[in-house]
Amino acid sequence: MASAKYDVIVVGGGNAALCAALSAREFSKKVLVLERAPEDESGGNSRFTAGLLRVVYDGVDDLKRLMPDLSEDEIRRTDFGAYIAEQFLDDMARVTEFRCDPDLTEILVKQSFPAVLWMRSKGVRFTAAWGRQAFKIEDRFKFWGGLTVEAIGGGPGLVDSLTQAAKKNGIDIWYTSRALSLIADDDGVHGVRVRRSGKTLEVKSKSVVLAAGGFQANTEWRTRYLGPGWELAKVRGTRFNTGDAIRMALDIGAAPVGNWSGCHAVAWERNAPEFGDLAVGDQFQKHSYPWGIYLNAEGRRFVDEGADFRNYTYAKYGRVILTQPGQFAWQVFDGKVRHLLRDEYKIRQVTKRSAQTLEELVKKLDDVNPDAALNEIQAFNRAVRADIPFNPNVKDGRRTEGLAIPKSNWANTLDTPPFEAYAVTCGITFTFGGLKINSQAQVVSTDGEPIPGLYAAGELVGGIFWFNYPGGSGLTNGAVFGRIAGRSAATSAG
Ligand SMILES: Cc1cc2nc3c(=O)[nH]c(=O)nc-3n(C[C@H](O)[C@H](O)[C@H](O)COP(=O)(O)OP(=O)(O)OC[C@H]3O[C@@H](n4cnc5c(N)ncnc54)[C@H](O)[C@@H]3O)c2cc1C
């Protein structure tokens, strides 16, 4: 392969790709990143995130290594607890119904903290996610959901820091450069065919890392693999993740694996645009449903809003909303919990209704049967075990009794004005099915052998997430396997 122009080509420009490129650069000289998006839309879904990363830490001393700026005062006022490897493994096993690939999951968990420390060494800065993942009770914050670490500047900050690091390390980044296919023969992969600013060219390399995201922005594949109705979902993030790199790998014999009919999908502003808007970022999401109730077009509740902490239910409830009549629902809250609503409820681009009485509110809910809705709320109110104290920091067991669809925690009667309702639909985040990789992030063929010169990381890898997902695992997944893929690709390139 003396003619190879690059040692490693990385396809994609998000978190997994940039981590792969930085890692490859530690072991080889010439690394190229191909990003399909123009520079002002680059960074994939990673740029749309809040930058939250689920990582194992044994206590505040670990966090201080990652965030040396934590002040003594912040530490005194915060109960960070710990999130040990067993908890992360348990969370992965539980939410994926024990289907997550055990080897890849163990790597994800065990390498989570080393990977973020490594990102820090490249210039990414982290802070504690007080705003979204902790509640203040009597002057002390308590983290409740195993998710404590946030990149400074959120997703845009994360992508900017990684991009700056890549440029500083002499990595070439080509924007508006769409990988079309792999250059491959019996000996493996030798480069990528690219369309760069309208021109198709072949770029040779000793190895290739695929990190170009899932297929959620491809309407036809969504409907084909996730099933009928999925063409009606809104895409939360980038419009560029159309499954290109998955297809490129399948075309040369890579094995598909994982939950091809599954995806991460959440409650998302009903009138949001078809794809994500970087100016709004993740704020179209509506994640405070554990403090209220859902109603559908028939005025009925349809899901246990308090089944678990939000971090463990939000990613599967988008699908439930998609299956409601008209693919929408309203989240309803009363005055007692308004202070708990996340910042995303305060943006300008919300479909919101307010009223001083429930009778008035139900009439304002577009496309909903008002009489049925009022009956449902009244039945819900009667079923609440108000004798159990409400506590948002723990699964408080304050539940309903006797309802066909229970609310298992945080059940509060809706009785205090002002009443508020927010209209949501299903927003798809990313797809779960993808390419099979081994522990070195080598792409495995349908014959069960690694394909020489081909590696993969991030959203387009299958087998890790099934049905559901513990919040903040996507960026960690990209960082851990991006780092491994980059190193493997560079070292195998010799
Ligand atoms: C609104 C929102 C909020 C989220 N919040 C969080 C969070 O706080 N924490 C968390 O862990 N996860 C979060 N996620 C999930 C997270 O974004 C993903 O799991 C993660 O960013 C995936 O990283 P990736 O690098 O694999 O993919 P991406 O970041 O999507 O990168 C894929 C890249 O590939 C490029 N590409 C696509 N096709 C081609 C091609 N043919 N040629 C070249 N390039 C191509 C794209 O342009 C893009 O740059 C969120 C997602 C969304 C949409």
Q: Is 290 in the pocket of ligand 1 (CB under 6 A)?
A: no
Nearest-atom number in ligand 1 for the CA of 12 is: 34
Give mean pLDDT, residues 28-53: 97
Q: Is 244 in the pocket of ligand 1 (CB under 6 A)?
A: yes
**CA–CA dist 448, 49 (Å, integer):** 34
CA 13–ligand 1 middle distance (angstroms)? 8
Q: Is 14 in the pocket of ligand 1 (CB under 6 A)?
A: yes
First to last CA, the chain: 11
**CA–CA dist 176, 34 (Å, integer):** 8
Q: Is 46 in the pocket of ligand 1 (CB under 6 A)?
A: yes
Give residue-wise pLDDT tens across range 182-191: 999 999 999 9
CA 34–ligand 1 middle distance (angstroms)? 14
DSSP 401: -
Calculate the dihedral angle through the C-alpha atoms of 225, 20, 265, 181, rounding to the nearest 10 degrees: -30
CA 476–ligand 1 middle distance (angstroms)? 12
Kindly indicate the confidence band of residue 64, based on its pLDDT and cuts at 50, 70 and 90. Answer: very high
Q: Is 12 in the pocket of ligand 1 (CB under 6 A)?
A: yes
Q: List for the chain the helix, strand, coil content (%; round to 5).
A: 35, 25, 40
CA 400–ligand 1 middle distance (angstroms)? 38
- Looking at ligand 1, which residue's alpha carbon is closest to its atom 5? 49
**CA–CA dist 467, 424 (Å, integer):** 21
Instruction: Please say if the pLDDT value at position 475 is more than 60.
Output: yes
CA 15–ligand 1 middle distance (angstroms)? 7
Nearest-atom number in ligand 1 for the CA of 178 is: 42
- Looking at ligand 1, which residue's alpha carbon is closest to its atom 48? 44
Q: Is 11 in the pocket of ligand 1 (CB under 6 A)?
A: yes
Q: Is 214 in the pocket of ligand 1 (CB under 6 A)?
A: no
Instruction: Please say if the pLDDT value at position 145 is more than 80.
Output: no
Instruction: Please say if the pLDDT value at position 493 is more than 60.
Output: no
Instruction: Please say if the pLDDT value at position 126 is more than 60.
Output: yes
CA 373–ligand 1 middle distance (angstroms)? 38
Instruction: Please say if the pLDDT value at position 494 is more than 60.
Output: no
Give residue-wise pLDDT tens across range 76-101: 999 899 999 999 999 999 999 999 99
- Looking at ligand 1, which residue's alpha carbon is closest to its atom 46? 44
Q: Is 434 in the pocket of ligand 1 (CB under 6 A)?
A: no
Kindly indicate the confidence band of residue 133, based on its pLDDT and cuts at 50, 70 and 90. Answer: confident
Pocket test for ligand 1, best of 18, 22, 46, 127 (most atoms within 8 A of CB): 46
What residues contact 161, with CB distance under 8 A and at least 6 apart?
122, 123, 124, 125, 151, 153
The pLDDT > 70 percentage for the chain reads 99
Q: What was the pLDDT predicted at 223?
A: 98
Give mean pLDDT, residues 308-331: 96
Structure tokens at 293: 């109730």
Q: Is 36 in the pocket of ligand 1 (CB under 6 A)?
A: yes
What residues contact 291, with CB distance under 8 A and at least 6 apart?
333, 337, 340, 341, 392, 410, 412
Strands 329-333 and 419-431, how do they pair? Answer: antiparallel
Instruction: Please say if the pLDDT value at position 268 is more than 50.
Output: yes
- Looking at ligand 1, which residue's alpha carbon is closest to its atom 21? 46
CA 387–ligand 1 middle distance (angstroms)? 44
**CA–CA dist 424, 330 (Å, integer):** 6
Nearest-atom number in ligand 1 for the CA of 15 is: 25
Calculate the dihedral angle through the C-alpha atoms of 195, 201, 205, 211, rounding to the nearest 10 degrees: 10
Residue 117 CB burial class (10 angstroms; 0-12, 13-18, ≥19): middle
CA 459–ligand 1 middle distance (angstroms)? 7
Phi, psi for 207 (deg, rounded to 5): -155, 165
Contact between residue 489 and residue 209 where contact means Cβ atoms under 8 Å apart: yes
Instruction: Please say if the pLDDT value at position 489 is more than 50.
Output: yes
CA 429–ligand 1 middle distance (angstroms)? 9
Give residue-wise pLDDT tens across range 405-452: 999 999 999 999 999 999 999 999 999 999 999 999 999 999 999 999
Pocket test for ligand 1, best of 9, 23, 49 (most atoms within 8 A of CB): 49
Mean pLDDT taken over the chain: 96
- Looking at ligand 1, which residue's alpha carbon is closest to its atom 50? 49
**CA–CA dist 469, 428 (Å, integer):** 13
Nearest-atom number in ligand 1 for the CA of 474 is: 19
Instruction: Please say if the pLDDT value at position 58 is more than 90.
Output: yes
Instruction: Please say if the pLDDT value at position 2 is more than 60.
Output: no
Q: Is 478 in the pocket of ligand 1 (CB under 6 A)?
A: yes
Give mean pLDDT, residues 255-281: 97
Contact between residue 120 and residue 66 where contact means Cβ atoms under 8 Å apart: yes
Instruction: Give the count of beta carbons closer than 10 Å to the beta carbon of residue 378.
Output: 13
Q: Is 237 in the pocket of ligand 1 (CB under 6 A)?
A: yes
Nearest-atom number in ligand 1 for the CA of 41 is: 47
Instruction: Please say if the pLDDT value at position 1 is more than 50.
Output: no
Q: Is 203 in the pocket of ligand 1 (CB under 6 A)?
A: no
Instruction: Please say if the pLDDT value at position 46 is more than 90.
Output: yes
- Looking at ligand 1, which residue's alpha carbon is closest to its atom 14? 49
- Looking at ligand 1, which residue's alpha carbon is closest to its atom 10? 472
Q: Is 148 in the pocket of ligand 1 (CB under 6 A)?
A: no
Instruction: Please say if the pLDDT value at position 4 is more than 70.
Output: no
Strands 177-185 and 188-196, how do they pair? Answer: antiparallel
